[in-house]
Amino acid sequence: MSSEKKKLLIDALSDMPKLSKRSLCGVAAVMNALDVEEQNVFNMRLNDIREFRNKYPSKLNPAGSSWLAKVLRDNSYPITDKVINLHIRGICSCR
Ligand SMILES: [Zn+2]
């Protein structure tokens, strides 16, 4: 490998991608935008969804993540049920 090529590789490997705001969990992003009162209700609904899943793993929750995401979107907080599900399962940047 030429020294020029080697330098290019080392430079490229040194320029690591930074954690952007986009990497922030969507639930956390909405949470940050809410006031304390709103956060409390949002947290309650997230816990309800988690509990429902533990209690009735095979049942469809009418007040599940799709409903929660729709309510938030209807109130101008962009979020998807997928993001909520990942957050509930702990597969997000919150942990
Ligand atoms: Zn999260």
Report how far ligand 1's centroid is from the alpha carbon of 11 (Å).
Answer: 33
Report how far ligand 1's centroid is from the alpha carbon of 7 (Å).
Answer: 39
Question: Do the domain assignments include residue 10?
Answer: no
Domain count, the chain: 1
pTM for the predicted model, two decimal places: 0.75
The per-residue pLDDT for range 1-13, each reduced to its tens digit, is 689 999 999 999 9
49 burial class (0-12, 13-18, 19+ CB within 10 angstroms)? Answer: buried
Please tell me what DSSP assigns to residue 24: S
Report how far ligand 1's centroid is from the alpha carbon of 84 (Å).
Answer: 8
Question: Do the domain assignments include residue 71?
Answer: yes
Question: Do the domain assignments include residue 44?
Answer: yes
Lookup: tokens for 57: 């793993």
Determine the pLDDT at residue 32.
95
Determine the pLDDT at residue 19.
65
Question: Do the domain assignments include residue 86?
Answer: yes
Question: Do the domain assignments include residue 88?
Answer: yes
Interatomic CA distance for residues 8 and 89, integer angstroms: 41
Question: Do the domain assignments include residue 19?
Answer: no
Interatomic CA distance for residues 94 and 38, integer angstroms: 19
pLDDT band at 75 (very low <50, low <70, confident <90, very high): very high
Question: Do the domain assignments include residue 13?
Answer: no
Question: Do the domain assignments include residue 50?
Answer: yes
Report how far ligand 1's centroid is from the alpha carbon of 27 (Å).
Answer: 5
The per-residue pLDDT for range 45-71, each reduced to its tens digit, is 999 999 999 999 999 999 999 999 999
24 or 81: whose pLDDT is higher? 81
Domain assignment of residue 55, given as a range: 24-95
